[in-house]
Chain A
Amino acid sequence: MAQQQTELGGAKHSGATKNDGATKNSAERKINRATLAADKVLDDKVSKFAVTINKPVDVVFEFWREFGNLPLFMKDLKDVIETSKTESHWVVELKNGQTVEWDAEITSESPNEMITWKSKDGSEVETIGSVWFAKAPSNWGTVVSMLMQYKVPSGKYAEFTAEFTGEHGDTLLQTDLYRLKALLETGEIPTIEGQPSGRGEDLPSDYVRH
């Protein structure tokens, strides 16, 4: 475990990692560690967000580790197919219908603690992500801290860039984690899609507004 974290965080952070072992479980500390890890790989801005989920750590970890579950709560993510124990194929479908795909590999993993992954060398869309799991204080459940970073070639993937990077990337990650929390805590994701309104597009076709 210590070895994996050292690789992820880079040599200059290994000291901090060792010291953590003696302190109490601290989700915040892990976020910082993970931030440093992601910084090392790509230059672009890191999106990060954390939620506390009212379920035990192993339940949350196992749900997340089943990558096929990710499209259940990640907006725009259409499919994640696990091609081997550490490799997977990711398919994003954008609102304009365009699909963006890449292959990813797990770079380190520790059960009930963390998973990090990155796109395989040569992918058009470069991405690195990490997710950290820690028991929350008292009876709050599990802290899930996630970091995502994308590097996208300019031009071809304008829509993807707009949706997944910068401020929108932050919002997307926050949305996805709220959706994960709702799904695990309640078994469903809140929605208003498909409800009635007095807006033109929702009215029956034979309806004339008065």
Chain B
Amino acid sequence: MKALCWEGKRNVKVHIVPDPRILNPQDAVVKVTTAAICGSDLHLYDGFVPTMEKGDILGHETMGEVVEVGSAVKKLKVGNKIVIPFDISCGQCHFCKEELYSACDNSNPNAVMAAKMYGQSGAAAFGYSHMFGGYAGGQAQFIRVPYADTNSLIVPNDINDEKVLFLSDIFPTGYMAAENCNIKPGDTVAIWGAGPVGQMAVRSAFLLGAERVISIDHYDNRLLMAKQAGAETINYNDVDSVVDEVRFMTGGRGPDSCIDAVGMEAHGHTMTANVDRVKVAVGLTTDRPDALRQAIQSCKKGGTISVPGVYGGSLDKFPFGAAFAKACKFQMGQTHVQKYMNPLLNLIIEGQIDPAFVITHRLPIDEAANGYRMFSDDKNECIKVVLKMH
């Protein structure tokens, strides 16, 4: 089969590799019809995530048709059309039973590696480094899905792939970020990052009852997309201080909740952002948390800072004093995708949202490497790349 493989920093290639097969009784093998490139794939592409190995198959936004099931698979049948969540969860441990799927105890065969870094290991993920399990990803023509009954959402055969593909990650991720804000009528939610997750968070915040959403980025096309959903926007290149601007727009109170949909590779031109870039370049730190710093500075007293953006290591110049002084609440973590897939599918079927709005590029698998280049280098034009696999 054809599969998109990580070859090193800013170097991915499509290779012909062996097809996956059933390795454990609860596995299924899926013929992938459509996959997407995620913003978090760019953290891999840019070499920000440790424990990648040359030849690893990438991709964690994937859907397709079940072609084989293991002996212990009960629910899934050959022929089912499914969306696959990015996190791999066993469905049977304490955390899975509490619907904290991304905290699954059992899915990561390299749990020791993650536990050394984080104390305890969370769930494994498809195509997201060996510390997160080393599982082959879904930017490939076939994928093996472990614990297949838990890690699948059966969707109607006649529904368009593009309508439901983003149930694998960015829609639940944006939705959980907004849900974590515990939005009340009249609330204002500010969202750093108008990439795909930020876009889903804008729409989810409105779905959950926010009165105002403020979207912050520096790409005009992305801000335009947020504006089309009803958000007010700030292009941070046009203002002296994002924090001052947000405060001015919210009557001096600050937003009720702030969402950091940027994560570890924040851009920006503040002094701290520049220091981050230098420190990362010489290996002194791993993450560039400038969006998170601004979110904390901006948030109202007693407000919530919700972090769907991915972070990997320790953060420099983290304004914990501001968060403490203002009694802010933090909500964060990898998305418990399996918890959200079904209710969000219903929202799509009811016509309340069609997540396909975010797609700007459609490419065949052979051009996947080009898709990474565009998504990385032309963020204004390229907002979401979808790959057609066969």
Complex alpha-carbon distance, A209 and B17, angstroms: 10
Specify which of A140, A194, A200 is in contact with B23 (CB 8 Å cutoff).
A194
Specify which of B1, B92, B136 is in contact with A186 (CB 8 Å cutoff).
B92
**Interface: B24 (CB within 8 A):** yes
Are B25 and A187 touching (Cβ within 8 A)? yes
Chain B residues lying within 8 Å of A191, measured Cβ to Cβ, are: 23-24, 109
With A185-B105, A186-B106 as given contacts, are A194 and B136 in contact (CB-CB < 8 Å)?
no
Q: Which residue of A lies closest to B135 (CB)?
A: A192
Are A198 and B15 touching (Cβ within 8 A)? yes
Chain A residues lying within 8 Å of B105, measured Cβ to Cβ, are: 181-182, 185
Chain B residues lying within 8 Å of A182, measured Cβ to Cβ, are: 90, 105-106
Task: Write the A150-180 contact mask toward B (1 if CB under 8 angstroms, else 0).
Answer: 0000000000000000000001001100100
**Interface: B101 (CB within 8 A):** no
- CB of B8, distance to nearest CB on chain A (Å): 12
Are A195 and B23 touching (Cβ within 8 A)? yes
**Interface: B7 (CB within 8 A):** yes
Are B19 and A196 touching (Cβ within 8 A)? yes
Interface centre among A194, A196, A198 (most CB of B within 10 A): A198
Are A187 and B72 touching (Cβ within 8 A)? yes
Complex alpha-carbon distance, A181 and B90, angstroms: 12
**Interface: B57 (CB within 8 A):** yes
Complex alpha-carbon distance, A197 and B122, angstroms: 23
* A interface with B by C-beta (< 8 Å): 52, 54, 139-141, 171, 174-175, 178, 181-182, 185-200, 202-204, 207, 209-210
**Interface: B107 (CB within 8 A):** yes
With A196-B20, A196-B136 as given contacts, are A190 and B108 in contact (CB-CB < 8 Å)?
yes
Q: Which residue of B lies closest to A173 (CB)?
A: B112
Chain A residues lying within 8 Å of B19, measured Cβ to Cβ, are: 196
* B interface with A by C-beta (< 8 Å): 1, 3, 5-7, 13, 15-21, 23-26, 53-57, 72, 90-94, 97, 105-109, 111-112, 115, 124, 133-136, 140, 144, 146-147
Q: Which residue of B lies closest to A192 (CB)?
A: B134
Are B94 and A54 touching (Cβ within 8 A)? yes
Are A185 and B135 touching (Cβ within 8 A)? no
Are B111 and A178 touching (Cβ within 8 A)? yes
Chain A residues lying within 8 Å of B146, measured Cβ to Cβ, are: 190
Are B18 and A190 touching (Cβ within 8 A)? no
Specify which of A52, A185, A202 is in contact with B17 (CB 8 Å cutoff).
A202
Q: What would 21 A/B residue contacts be, using CB atoms closer than 8 Å?
A: A141-B94, A178-B112, A186-B93, A186-B106, A187-B26, A188-B25, A191-B23, A192-B134, A193-B23, A196-B1, A196-B18, A196-B57, A197-B5, A198-B7, A198-B13, A198-B56, A199-B53, A200-B55, A207-B16, A207-B17, A210-B15
